Amino acid sequence: MTKTKAFDIPAINNQKEALAIHLGIDSDDDEQFKQISELGVLGFEHSFAYKGKKYTVEHSRLGVTGDRVVNFNSNNWVISDHNLDKAHKTCHNFNLDEAMEVVWDALNGFRENCIPEGVNAHDSQWEDIGAAMTWVQAGINDTPDEVDEDRIEAIWVALHSFREDCIPEGDESYDSQWDEITTAMSWIEETLSDTDADLPTESMSM
């Protein structure tokens, strides 16, 4: 007789579930839940993006502060709600053109190190990425009526691959670079989806 496991329960992302509660999202609704993108983990802090805003979630413990504490799975989770516009202005000090440059630098690193030229599948993926970035640039200049999620997803996939293969988590300089990349891309995504976004066109001084 073949033995079977008594339970086959998928792993639970406690931090993402807690954030969903904070956002008022039903985690059983896959369409809504998948809109929460995980950006990465730094120490105990998990970073997420949702509709152009960045959130961090970590287990409640002495010295950890945030905007709200959510109870999930018999644990308390501290959630910090970052307004990307403000965070970008105060922490990264670059305008939208520079944000695009940050993203392009990461994508070029992905091209060189992960999908080298000369392989049909690689060249096709790079063409898709280039088309997506062209669409993004056009959208920044003239906010589109609707965000093309497939194009945005193509860029995020490439950026996450660059993170995993080229700037792995755990090195302070790499983690700082990844924070800059994700903030830039999230800010760009927010600009595309927000027709009322009041974002600078020139660099600001600290």
In order along its 206 residues, the chain shows pLDDT tens digits of 555 555 445 678 999 999 999 999 999 998 889 899 888 887 788 989 888 788 899 988 766 677 788 899 888 898 988 764 444 444 455 577 888 988 999 999 999 999 999 999 999 999 999 999 998 888 877 766 677 788 888 999 999 999 999 988 888 888 888 888 888 888 788 777 764 444 333 333 32
Structure tokens given for 8: 């086959």
For residue 45, the SS3 value is strand
Half-sphere exposure of 124 (CA within 13 A, CB side): 3
State the pLDDT at residue 179.
85
Structure tokens given for 154: 């193509």
Q: Rounded distance, CA 25 to CA 66, Å?
A: 20
State the pLDDT at residue 200.
37
Closest CA to 175 of 81, 47, 58: 47
State the pLDDT at residue 143.
63
pTM for the full predicted model: 0.53
Structure tokens given for 147: 């965000």
The DSSP H or E segment spanning 69 is strand 68-72
State the pLDDT at residue 133.
93
State the pLDDT at residue 122.
93
State the pLDDT at residue 194.
62
State the pLDDT at residue 50.
86
